[in-house]
Amino acid sequence: MGARAHGAGLSADETRKGLAAALGAYFIWGLFPLYWKMLAAVPAVQTMAHRTVWCALLVTLWLGLREGFGWLRTLSRCAVGMLLISALLIACNWWLYIWAVTAGHIVETSLGYFINPLLSVLLGVFVLRERLRPLQWLAVGIAAVGVVYMTAQAGRLPWIALAIAASFGGYGLWRKLMPVPAVQGLAVESGLLFLPALAALLWWEHQGTGAFGHQGLQTDGLLAFGGFVTALPLVWFAYGARRIPLSLVGLLQYLTPTLQLLCGVLVFHEPFLEVHWIGFGFIWSALVIYAGEGVWRMRNSPSR
């Protein structure tokens, strides 16, 4: 990715537009609990299937009007096979997140997205053989202490948070191995899942257990609009990430789990006890070290 992709050489107006787009994307992702909670009466797997179908239709239409479909011919069978794996990973992440939100585990989902950057670092170490700097190891260790503390105090592993972090971190790692733009990748991923998701929805309708058309116009609208709220922030993020510094993208990503945490505690009144304050405190401290080290290193890079 060249300098332009990191925001270098762009006008102040372009940078402002990029920042606004990135902020909009992170705000939408952060407020997702408000949206999916309105579909609590719908089984999470059905919501996920609708999200996949409507997202596939919308992204395909948008790309067709904007770029055409010539880029599809450049995809090899190997790339399509790899995108199928990433599609399965993101489908698992979508389902788990929707289920957790509607089941009252918003605080734990936010923990998953706080942990995700640090877990992604570990995946880079073990899979890509990347080397960590001392402060990065310190951040990972402090985060691990936080997870162990909450596990010991609660008597159970925060498996929802860890599964969300693992599925999204694994998705990010897998996509890193493929030189496919974010929006085009989403089009292929949702397209690969389109027929299975549509078949499942038709089966549920045939069995009389489908939600669409049976729980009112508001539910139908929310299920269909789920494709839009899935695609829009990704388009905005893809636009913004090419126009602002990479260090700023890294800092803004923490806006999403922060908003999710606030939704869980302030809007839906999920408990946030002393054990959470201490456990999250370890995680937040780790993120401050991790993000601060990254910003310091980028600012002091000889290439600047």
Helix (H) / strand (E) element for 129: namely none
Mean pLDDT value across the chain:
85
**pLDDT value of position 221:** 92
Residue 106 has pLDDT above 60, yes or no: yes
**pLDDT value of position 24:** 92
Residue 105 φ then ψ, to 5°: -120, 40
End-to-end alpha carbon distance in the chain = 16
Residues in the chain: 304
**pLDDT value of position 10:** 63
**pLDDT value of position 6:** 52
Residue 254 has pLDDT above 90, yes or no: no
Averaged pLDDT for residues 101-114: 92
Averaged pLDDT for residues 66-87: 84
Least confident of 137-146, 185-194, 242-251: 242-251
Q: How far is CA 114 from CA 36, 39, 105, 168, 178, in A?
A: 20, 25, 15, 12, 25
Kindly give the interhelix angle for 106-127 and 255-262, rounded to the nearest 10 degrees: 160
**pLDDT value of position 270:** 93
Those residues with Cβ within 8 angstroms of residue 131's Cβ, 6 or more apart along the chain or in another chain: 125
**pLDDT value of position 249:** 72
pLDDT tens, 112-147? 888 888 888 888 788 778 787 888 888 888 888 988
Longest dimension (CA), the chain: 64
pLDDT tens, 9-23? 567 777 788 889 889
Helix or strand or coil: residue 93?
A: helix
Taking the C-alpha atoms of residue 35 and residue 219, their distance in angstroms, rounded to an integer, is 11
Does the model's pTM come out above 0.75? yes
